Amino acid sequence: MNISLPEYSKQQLALRNGVDREEIWIAFEGKIYDVAKSRLWKNGQHYEHWAGQDLTEELKDAPHNAHVFDKFKIVGVLK
C-alpha cells in the first residue's frame, strides 16, 4: 500500500517555522520533516538554521549526516 504525501510549496513550508504557526518543519532532499519534538529545534531554530526552509544544501556543512532525519516523521513533499 503506497500512501501519497501532501505537497507543499516553499511558501507553505515557510509558514511552518515555529513562529507563524506551531508546526516546526524543515525540508531535505524533497521531503518535509516535522522536527517539533526535537529539543534542538525549540522555537524553530537549530544553531544558525531556521525551520520553514529547505536545508538540503546546508547539510553538507553540518557535523552530522542525513541519517539524523530518520527519527523524524515525514509530513509531506516539497513541490
The answer to whether residue 41 scores a pLDDT higher than 70 is yes
Q: Rounded CA gap, 35 and 41, in Å?
A: 7
**Which CATH number fits the domain 7-78, given the four candidates 3.10.120.10, 1.20.1250.20, 3.90.180.10, 3.40.50.300?**
3.10.120.10
pLDDT band at 17 (very low <50, low <70, confident <90, very high): very high
Give me the pLDDT at residue 2, please.
Answer: 57
The mean per-residue pLDDT over the stretch 63-78 comes to 90
DSSP 8-state class, residue 68:
G
Q: End-to-end distance of the chain based on CA atoms, in angstroms?
A: 22
Look up the pTM and report it: 0.89
The residue among 11 and 60 whose pLDDT is bigger is: 11
